[in-house]
């Protein structure tokens, strides 16, 4: 790939398993039930990788065999924030890994007059400024919606270094725009595609993730 990947981007290991999962959800002939099932598997991998980036401190525990084990304890609380609508598909994967996790939502749509992303709605935990935040959106295309959503989080007091942006597929153009806007926020993605076409769709891409996931 001609584009240079930023150090802020963590790409999931491109194993045969992961490529196989993407082969299923990228296929236009994949039925919705399979699309949802295998997308959920990738989302779970993304969340698990995101958790790897959270800070920990040493903790010694006692095991049932009366032995000590040098373990670790996660520091701080987390929450998820989904960019509605497609981002909501990633909430289950986060809940599967983190019991009773708080979830916020941000709705951003394109302004028909300016063609720019516009904030329409936000509902966030009141203590979000003290949490680590997993920002959830399956596709990073131009980066416009993600950048606006991240500004909302920062305006609510979330420190940039506490934000992790999780997505299944990213375009190099979107990565470049997002990293330029937020040079201290990590992106965790499952795939980096070739780029955007003239309609700003990711290619080879997946299609409209929200439509395929929710069958609308």
- Is 179:8 a contact under the CB 8 Å cutoff? yes
The pair of structure tokens assigned to 78 is 């987390």
Residue 131 annotated to the active site: no
- Please tell me the distance from the alpha carbon of residue 3 to that of residue 176, in angstroms, as a whole number: 9
- Which residue of the set 27, 34, 110, 111 is catalytic? 110
- Please tell me the distance from the alpha carbon of residue 170 to that of residue 186, in angstroms, as a whole number: 13
Residue 63 annotated to the active site: no
Angle between helices 144-155 and 172-181 (to 10 degrees): 20
Cβ neighbours of 100 (radius 10 Å) = 5
| Residue closest to 41 by CA, chosen among 209, 188, 168, 136 | 168
The pair of structure tokens assigned to 24 is 């299923």
Residue 7 annotated to the active site: no
- Please tell me the distance from the alpha carbon of residue 145 to that of residue 110, in angstroms, as a whole number: 9
- Which residue of the set 7, 65, 70, 114 is catalytic? 114
The pair of structure tokens assigned to 191 is 């795939």
Residue 114 annotated to the active site: yes
**What positions carry a catalytic annotation?**
110, 114, 208, 211
């Amino acid at each position: 790939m001609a584009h240079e990947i930023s150090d802020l981007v963590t790409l999931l290991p491109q194993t045969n398993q992961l490529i196989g999962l993407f082969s299923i959800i990228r296929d236009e002939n994949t039925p919705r039930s399979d699309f949802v099932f295998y997308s959920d598997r990738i989302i779970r991998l993304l969340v698990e990788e995101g958790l790897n980036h959270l800070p920990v401190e040493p903790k010694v525990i006692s095991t049932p065999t009366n032995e000590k084990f040098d373990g670790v304890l996660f520091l701080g609380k987390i929450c998820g924030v989904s960019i509605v609508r497609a981002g909501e598909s990633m909430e289950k994967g986060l809940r599967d890994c983190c019991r009773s996790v708080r979830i916020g939502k941000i709705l951003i749509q394109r302004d028909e007059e300016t063609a720019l992303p516009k904030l329409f709605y936000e509902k966030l935990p009141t203590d979000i400024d003290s949490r680590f935040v997993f920002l959830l959106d399956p596709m990073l295309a131009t980066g416009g919606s993600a950048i606006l959503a991240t500004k909302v989080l920062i305006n609510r007091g979330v420190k940039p270094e506490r934000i992790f942006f999780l997505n299944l597929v990213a375009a190099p153009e979107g990565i470049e725009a997002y990293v330029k806007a937020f040079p201290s926020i990590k992106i965790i993605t499952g795939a980096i595609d070739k780029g955007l076409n003239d309609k700003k769709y990711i290619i080879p891409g997946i299609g409209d993730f929200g439509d395929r996931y929710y069958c609308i």
